[in-house]
Each structure stands twice: as structure tokens, then as C-alpha cells.
Amino acid sequence: MPQVNPDSIKYWQWPNVLGIDAALIAVVWQIALAHALTMPVGLTAHLVLGLSVWLTYLADRLFDVSTRKEAALLSVRHRFSKRHAAFLWRVWFVVLAVNLLLATQLTLLQLKHGALLLAVCALYTLLNQKLSRKFFPKEICVALIYAGGVMVFLPEALHLGFFESFAFLCLLNCLVIGAKEKAVDSEMRVHSISRMMAERWLIPLACVGAALTLGSGVELSYGLTLSFGLLGLLHYLRTRIRVETFRVLVDTALLLGGVICLLANGM
């Protein structure tokens, strides 16, 4: 795989390079779910979730590149993070301070749930950095944490049906990206489920996820089903799409499901 020049980043790549897309996807699905369940969580909770996701993603990426030379990094996001690590860490700490200040405005229940999720995120980051060169099931961990984050500030008990479907969708998202970026993971000596999963299973998994979600009638099932379908389609077309474009499209597939749900509810 050819190395990528960080100076040639296209405008549509910046949300992915900076990790903003992951935060946006989480917030959109959180808003859609809260609206569907008529459980408003408040603007502060949306901001805290978005900033928390961004902080987690960026910290994990900066740790990833800290012990590697830039020449060994094949993806745009990793090479950019390596080149601008000092500046990004300064921004990270400023955003952390802002996020902690915002968190003081959450309800006590939201604060307790958020603190628990923060501890899980910290544990994930530690284990991923320690074990990824041997083996670490990061895709499963990311899917569960991400799905939990979308629901963590809801004022009532967990809605298991949505959690299962959305976590499965997030897992498929990670596996589809991992299948396309096997060369990147190999160069970085990352060993996870993606390197073990046969690519031929991903389209059937997308079909199963879409069928189960649509058939179960869980909250936001139409948006979830759309995202499952788009992920399956993108995996089918993967050989025709350049790797950096592919990652953006796969994350966009996750975002579109949430956006459709918002539009369907008149938001």
C-alpha cells in the first residue's frame, strides 16, 4: 500500500482525520433515540457525549502513533496525528477541561453513568495499547462502549433491543473497515478480530443484522436497517474504492441511518 501525504488531505476527509465524525455519529443517534423514546436528555448531555467520544478516539490514536515512526504509518489519520501530536495533545487537554466543566451540569444519575463509562473507556484504552500487538478484541469493545455511550445519559433503564442492534451495527462497521485496512493493521502490528474474520462473512452478517433489526421492530429500526444495508453494499464494492475514501463512506453509512431517523421524526 502506498504511503499517504498528510498535506494532500481532501476537505471531505477532515472530519475522519480529526475524529469528529465519530463524535457526530454518536450525538445524532443519541438525539434520535431520545426523541423516539420521548426522553429528552438535554443539550449538555449531547455535548458531553460528543466531546467524550472525540477525546477517547483521539487519545487512542495518539497513543497508537507515539511509539511508531511516521514512515511506518500508512493511513492519513495516523500520519497526521503523528506529525501534529504535540499540538493535538494540547487541544486534547483543553477540550477535556471544557468537557469536565460541562459535566458538572449533568443530573446526578447522568454523572454517575457517565463516570462509569469513562472508567470503561480508560480501561479499554489501556488494554488496547498493552495487548493489541498480541491480540485484543478491539472491535467488540468499541462496539459495546460506543453503543453504551449513545444510551448512557437516558433517564430510564436500558432498552436492550436497540442496544443489541446498534452494538451489532457498530461491530459490523469496525469489521468492514478492518477488512479493508488489513494492510494498515499489519504494518502497525495490530492483532484483532478483523485480521481473523473471513471477509466473505461480512455481507451475510449485514443481511442478518438488517433482517433481525427490521423484524424485531426495535426503536429506530428503519435507520439501523438502512445502515446495515449500506455497510453490506460498501463491503461488496470495497475493491473499487480507495482505502481512505472507503473509511469515510463506511462511517457516513452509520451517520445516515441516524439522520434518516431524525428526518422521519420531523427534526
User: Residue 156: exposed, middle, or buried by beta-carbon count in 10 A (0-12, 13-18, 19+)?
Assistant: exposed
Give residue 244's pLDDT.
Answer: 87
Would 42 be classed as within a structural domain?
A: yes
Give residue 192's pLDDT.
Answer: 67
In the numeric block, which cell numbers belong to residue 106?
Answer: 449533568
Would 1 be classed as within a structural domain?
A: no
Closest CA to 214 of 176, 161, 167: 161
Helices 221-236, 202-216: crossing angle, 10 deg rounding: 170
In the numeric block, which cell numbers belong to residue 209?
Answer: 443484522
For the whole model, what pTM was predicted? 0.89
Q: What is the pLDDT along the chain (267 residues), one digit of tens a residue?
A: 344 454 578 888 999 999 999 999 999 999 999 998 888 888 999 999 999 999 999 998 898 888 778 777 778 888 899 999 999 999 999 999 999 999 999 988 888 888 888 888 888 888 877 777 777 788 888 999 999 999 988 876 567 889 999 999 999 999 999 888 876 656 666 666 776 777 889 999 999 999 999 888 788 899 999 999 999 999 999 999 998 899 999 999 999 999 999 988 766
Would 150 be classed as within a structural domain?
A: yes
CATH label of the domain that carries residue 62: 1.10.600
Range(s) of the domain holding residue 154 = 6-264
Measured between alpha carbons, how far is residue 45 from residues 15, 26, 149, 203, 266 in Å? Answer: 21, 12, 11, 35, 21
Would 147 be classed as within a structural domain?
A: yes
Number of domains observed in the structure of the chain: 1
Would 14 be classed as within a structural domain?
A: yes
Closest CA to 224 of 60, 79, 36: 36
Give residue 1's pLDDT.
Answer: 39
